[in-house]
Amino acid sequence: DAGVIQSPRHEVTEMGQEVTLRCKPISGHNSLFWYRQTMMRGLELLIYFNNNVPIDDSGMPEDRFSAKMPNASFSTLKIQPSEPRDSAVYFCASSLNGNTIYFGEGSWLTVV
């Protein structure tokens, strides 16, 4: 079975550019999570969805960050405009009814 699929795996972009990260959750899962991992702050929950509806976005750093889940099989995390401090690994994860959370391989973002 396919796990959580994220793209791109690596992205290097210039400050000010728009960045879009994509995620395909495990088929049948109804919860989707976006996390950001840095050395300084560890693994932070940015936003999570239940049944495609955003439940808690209190972890989203600022208005430059936005996330959508137009259907059960796709979600995006967008940063516009990007800044160097956004450099991090962004993980998408999914679960079924709060059971085991499965993580994608992550998207490594570098903003120069």
One of 28, 43, 84, 110 touching another protein (CB under 8 A) = 43
- Tell me: does residue 82 bind another protein (CB under 8 A): no
Question: What 3-state DSSP class applies to 78?
Answer: strand
Q: What angle do CA 109, 111, 39 make, to 5 degrees?
A: 60
Stretch that binds another protein, among 12-20, 66-74, 78-86, 88-96 (CB under 8 A): 88-96
Stretch that binds another protein, among 15-23, 68-76, 80-88, 95-103 (CB under 8 A): 95-103
DSSP secondary structure code for residue 64 in this structure: T
Edge-to-edge strands, sheet with 5-7:
5-7, 19-24, 74-79, 65-71
Through-space distance between the first and last CA atoms of the chain, rounded to whole angstroms: 36
**What is the closest distance, in whole angstroms, from the C-beta atom of residue 16 to another protein in the complex?**
27
Pairing of strands 10-13, 107-111: parallel
One of 42, 62, 63, 70 touching another protein (CB under 8 A) = 42
Stretch that binds another protein, among 21-29, 38-46, 64-72, 77-85 (CB under 8 A): 38-46
CA distance 72 to 91: 17
Interaction site with another protein (CB under 8 A) = 31, 33, 35, 42-45, 48, 50, 55-56, 91, 93, 95, 97-106
